[in-house]
Amino acid sequence: MESQGNGRRIRRIHLAGGCFWGLEKYMSLIPGVVSTQVGYANGRTEKPTYEEVCYEKTGHAETVLVTYEPERMPLSRLLTLYFDAIDPLAKNRQGFDIGPQYRTGIYYEDEEDREIAETAVAELQKKFGKPVMIEVVPLENYDPAEEHHQKYLEKNPGGYCHIGRDAFAKVRGKVETL
């Protein structure tokens, strides 16, 4: 989805990659990312709660809605940084987080993003020489998570995060050179 905000073009993509607390913090550090919001995507119910999603009752993925400026951070670069934060070979798990709600996925809102995402995943698969477990599918539904989950690691600096410090250091180093 594309819109104009304050004279700048902005787009949205939904990314799943384990617990959304860490992925939200990671994505928020990237220049060109305008905002992030954690939520639940592509499930069977409306307005699920965190508990319902965690107990695997809804089929939702913990997801980060990333709003970004494509002129500053093209989707292909954004996805490269996303791949650095996840284990693309793990199915329904990231770190110690296990279950279908922790699957990896790119949920797009328009066909242009689908093509970019499918190309990026195909290139990643070539790099590994085996199938990657990142689903690339249209966004069917999305509900924001409860307020206490938004910007969780900013509110709780010592909170749990499955993404290692090396990945955070790497994104900081990469974004400075982009």
If DSSP codes are grouped into helix, strand and coil, which group holds residue 136?
strand
Catalytic residue, from 10, 16, 19, 106: name it: 19
End-to-end, the C-alpha distance of the chain in Å comes to: 24
Distances (CA, A) of 118 to 35, 79, 136: 24, 11, 7
CB 34 within 8 A of CB 68: yes
CB 93 within 8 A of CB 102: yes
Containing 57, the helix (H) or strand (E) segment is: none
Cα–Cα distance measured from residue 160 to residue 140, given in angstroms and rounded to the nearest whole number:
29
Active-site residue, 54 included: no
From the list 73, 63, 98, the residue with the least C-alpha distance to 10 is 73
The angle that helices 75-85 and 165-177 make with each other, rounded to 10 degrees, is: 160
By annotation, the residues acting in catalysis are 19
